[in-house]
């Protein structure tokens, strides 16, 4: 929506589904009453006395995450703050090549540490620190017994020393002791992947928490001998936190707040680096009958995640990412510590939108959600609505 600056604006809302809704434009102090009945209406009236781009939304918990928000432009559209910002969100489908039945090999991994201005949300940016310009960094995929060489180069235009600690490494600092690289410098080391599992890696240069929160984390999968079982879809998802001086939802460039980091009070929480990486930018898609595997980790640096997919039950959970222990079965929500990981698998049986969350659900309001879209035929035995006419339609369909 676009309106002239200083105009008196009225927004009318009609309830189309019968659930509880409202509408608000927080920056102008406008908020409606709740409407509950299907066809019920409400309105807000305010004066748009500031030029710029603002958000309107439904303030009910979880409704913004489900897509109930939009953009209000007051005055002439301005060039967005992220026009020259880098797209740092990690594509969740970039999971590498399964190792299959191959034997041990020598694998070389090249990483560059960078400090770049990236898009955080529509209209806002942040100075991210990254591995290979994405948050999280690349998904490294090897097998137990592989010899792995890590080549780490710190970009010449960086302002800080960077390094890497891989939790899969047996050795000093997980590699951090020998990879403290100044701007323009490169370091290297080699290790043997002794333990199968899904492991977090991160920068381990003091102060470590600042390097991690700014985006310097990722995961390395060490597959067991013979590889993992075949599935239809694999996704790479990591949870992170940003501590900014500006409040969540503010426009423009966001600056790091040391005070909020030390208080463990993040303004933004996200999957794969940005506010909408897995809800708008990248699509997690599957078809009815397929088995989905999610490699899930918490970069952090501070908060434990209660990972949950709304409307699904995990058929298998490899607790704490142990691939050599029997998986848990039929799990609703699994706890993942900062610097920890899990691997979950589930068959999708019914079409629809399935929302990925941390079940500490207040965090959804700070950006922490993603969407898995499942397409295919509906099975009325698994799920069906009891809306007026739905049962009759289902019966009619079953008999024809």
According to the annotation, is 248 in a ligand binding site? no
Task: Render 8-23 in DSSP notation, one character per residue.
Answer: EEEEEEE-SSSS-B--
Q: Would you state the structure tokens that stand for residue 221, as one six-digit string?
A: 């999968």
- Alpha helix segments (H runs only) across the chain: 208-213, 258-262, 390-399
Total residues belonging to the chain = 400
Question: Closest by alpha carbon to 29, among 12, 52, 50?
Answer: 50
Question: Binding site annotation covers 308?
Answer: no
- What are the distances in angstroms from CA 17 to CA 36, 37, 65, 204? 9, 8, 17, 50
399 is in an annotated binding site: no
User: What are 91's two structure tokens?
Assistant: 């594509």
Is 162 one of the annotated binding-site residues? Answer: yes
CA neighbor of 6 nearest in space, from 53, 49, 45:
49
Distance of CA 99 to the CA centre of its chain: 26
Angstrom distances, CA of residue 257 to CA of 267, 268, 269, 365: 10, 12, 14, 20
d(CA 150, CA 144): 16
Give the residue numbers of the binding site: 162, 167, 202-203, 211, 216, 359
Pick out the residues of the known binding site for Cu cation: 162, 167, 202-203, 211, 216, 359
């Amino acid at each position: 929506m676009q309106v002239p600056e200083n105009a008196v604006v009225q927004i009318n809302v009609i309830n189309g589904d019968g659930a509880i809704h409202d509408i608000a434009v927080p920056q102008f102090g406008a908020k409606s009453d709740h409407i509950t009945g299907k066809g019920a209406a409400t309105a807000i009236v305010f004066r748009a006395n500031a030029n710029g781009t603002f958000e309107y939304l439904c303030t009910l918990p979880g409704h913004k995450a489900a897509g109930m928000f939009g953009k209000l432009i007051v005055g002439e559209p301005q060039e967005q703050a992220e026009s020259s910002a880098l797209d740092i969100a990690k594509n969740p489908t970039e999971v590498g090549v399964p190792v299959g039945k191959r034997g041990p090999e020598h694998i070389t991994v090249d990483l560059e540490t960078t400090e770049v201005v990236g898009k955080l949300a529509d209209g806002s940016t942040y100075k991210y620190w990254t591995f290979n310009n994405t948050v999280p960094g690349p998904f490294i995929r090897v097998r137990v017994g592989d010899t792995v060489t890590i080549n780490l180069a710190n970009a010449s235009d960086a302002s800080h020393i960077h390094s890497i600690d891989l939790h899969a490494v047996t050795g000093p600092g997980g590699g951090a002791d020998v990879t403290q690289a100044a701007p323009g410098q490169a370091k290297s080391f080699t290790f043997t992947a002794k333990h199968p599992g899904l492991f977090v890696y991160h920068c381990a240069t003091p102060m470590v928490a600042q390097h991690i929160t700014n985006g310097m984390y990722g995961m390395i999968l060490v597959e067991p001998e013979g590889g993992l079982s075949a599935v239809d879809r694999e996704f790479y998802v990591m949870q992170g936190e940003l501590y900014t001086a500006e409040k969540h939802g503010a426009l423009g460039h966001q600056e790091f707040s040391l005070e909020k980091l030390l208080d463990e009070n993040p303004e933004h929480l996200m999957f794969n680096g940005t506010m909408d990486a897995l809800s708008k930018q990248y699509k997690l898609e599957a078809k009815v009958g397929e088995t989905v595997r999610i490699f899930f980790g918490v970069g952090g640096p501070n908060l434990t995640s209660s990972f949950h997919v709304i409307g699904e039950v995990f058929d298998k959970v490899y607790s704490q990412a142990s691939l050599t222990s029997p998986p848990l079965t039929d799990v609703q929500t699994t706890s993942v510590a900062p610097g920890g990981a899990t691997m979950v698998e589930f068959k999708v049986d019914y079409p629809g939108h399935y929302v990925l969350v941390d079940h500490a659900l207040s965090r959804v309001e700070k950006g922490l959600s993603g969407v898995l879209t499942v397409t295919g035929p509906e099975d009325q035995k698994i799920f069906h609505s009891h809306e007026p006419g739905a049962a009759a339609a289902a019966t009619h369909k079953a008999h024809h």
